[in-house]
């Protein structure tokens, strides 16, 4: 019997992305699978039901879950949806594996085989499946636009009849995927851009985008492409050198975050107080506690004469392309295991085994097991 892939509507407030798009549905059908989608699920991403050809439609998410052999999601499904899933079904998406022991227990009790793509091994072969990178690229782009939109200054240099307006100076903290996209976008708009990252190997990437690297003399190169935690002495040295660059900026964008961990506090209240009147701060890490003292997740807060913005679920602000990128990531992960219309799991595969959260009633990921205490 052909594999039935289910796509329920995303229920979380503000979530506009969808885990499939019409072109990717065609690719699933080409592998011999079938697809069932909750009616109207794509509307927040501007994807009407009539754009999806040769699929089944269900009236509710519970109906989708009850029928599907494999379910795709953007945000973790609710307890109600998990309860409706077939025992032994497969769940694939961003499951926030470190956030809920209760959800992990429910997945185990239901014998759900779940794959959390946040746990994807960071190897070359998995790059086309990397949802964190694709969605971070969207977030970095959006944060640059948010900064430009709220700045009381032009980002580009402007020449007019009475003279010339100097371009705004933007400082980006963190040069991962999101940070590099923020740098590139701010540069395209015309700003002068400086950037800082504790990993010295990012200097070349930053400068290749036309930005100036802020050298604080602190290196925190870590494993897996992420930075390690700084010592107190290193944090003090970093803060001293960074404070000067922050004070000179018209817009500050912070992007330092590690999945499953609280965002490091990099920008102190004193640094914010020393910024120019009218300066804008966009804290991309607001969802995980923020990089900036004074950030309130989901809010715009005036700290003196500086506007501190804590946007949340940023990728969802651009749902058309964010959904397209995300859907392709999921397809690239699962498609190698769809053979003749059936799902054949391969536990010898490094990528599949590496991001498995639960299987056969067990919590399979050692790191998550340790964090959740299960």
Q: What residues are labeled active site?
A: 122, 127, 130, 133, 226
In DSSP terms, 292 is beta-bridged to 267
The Cα–Cα gap between 215 and 249 comes to: 16
Tokens, residue 56: 């089944």
Ramachandran angles phi, psi of 245, nearest 5°: -65, -40
The 3-state secondary structure of 210-257 reads CCEECCCCCCCECCCCCECCCCHHHHHHHHHHHHHHHHHCCEEEECCC
Contact between 284 and 257 under an 8 Å Cβ cutoff? The reply is yes
Distance CA(323)–CA(213), nearest Å, equals 32
To 10 degrees, the CA torsion angle through 91, 96, 98, 101?
-60
Got the DSSP string for 261-293?
SPPP--B-HHHHHTSPTT-EEEETTGGGT-SBT
Helix spans in 151-219 (H) = 177-189, 203-208
Other beta carbons within 10 Å of 369: 16
Q: Are 142 and 322 in contact (CB under 8 A)?
A: no
């Amino acid at each position: 019997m052909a594999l039935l892939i289910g796509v329920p509507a995303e229920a979380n407030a503000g979530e506009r992305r969808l885990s499939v798009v019409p072109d990717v549905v065609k690719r699933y059908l080409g592998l011999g699978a079938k697809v069932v989608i909750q009616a109207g699920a794509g509307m927040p991403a501007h994807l009407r039901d009539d754009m999806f050809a040769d699929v089944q439609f269900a009236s509710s998410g519970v109906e989708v879950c009850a029928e599907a052999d494999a379910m795709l999601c953007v945000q973790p499904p609710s307890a109600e949806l998990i309860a409706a899933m077939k025992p032994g079904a497969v769940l694939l998406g961003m499951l926030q594996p470190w956030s809920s022991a209760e959800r992990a227990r429910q997945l185990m009790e239901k014998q759900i085989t779940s794959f959390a793509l946040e746990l994807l091994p960071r190897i070359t072969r998995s790059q086309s499946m990397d949802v964190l990178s694709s969605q971070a690229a969207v977030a970095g782009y959006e944060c640059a636009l948010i900064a430009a939109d709220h700045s009381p200054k032009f980002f580009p240099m402007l020449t007019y009849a009475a003279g010339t307006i100097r371009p705004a100076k933007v400082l980006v903290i963190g040069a991962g995927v999101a940070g590099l996209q923020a740098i590139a976008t701010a540069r395209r708009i015309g700003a002068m851009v400086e950037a800082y990252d504790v990993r010295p190997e990012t200097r070349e990437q930053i400068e290749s985008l036309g930005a100036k690297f802020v050298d604080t003399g602190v290196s925190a190169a870590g494993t897996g492409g992420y930075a390690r935690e700084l010592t107190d002495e290193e944090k003090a040295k970093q803060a001293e050198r960074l404070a000067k660059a922050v004070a000179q900026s018209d817009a500050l964008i912070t992007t330092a975050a590690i999945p499953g961990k609280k965002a490091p506090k990099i920008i102190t209240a004193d640094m914010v107080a020393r910024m120019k009147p009218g300066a804008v701060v966009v804290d991309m890490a607001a969802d995980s506690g923020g990089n900036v003292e004074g950030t309130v997740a989901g809010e715009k807060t005036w700290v003196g004469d500086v506007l501190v913005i804590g946007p949340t679920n940023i990728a969802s602000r651009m749902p058309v392309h964010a959904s397209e990128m995300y859907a392709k990531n999921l397809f690239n992960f699962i498609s190698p295991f769809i053979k003749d219309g059936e799902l054949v799991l391969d536990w010898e595969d490094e990528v599949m085994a590496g991001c498995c959260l639960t299987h056969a009633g067990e919590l399979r990921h050692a790191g998550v097991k340790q964090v959740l205490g299960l």
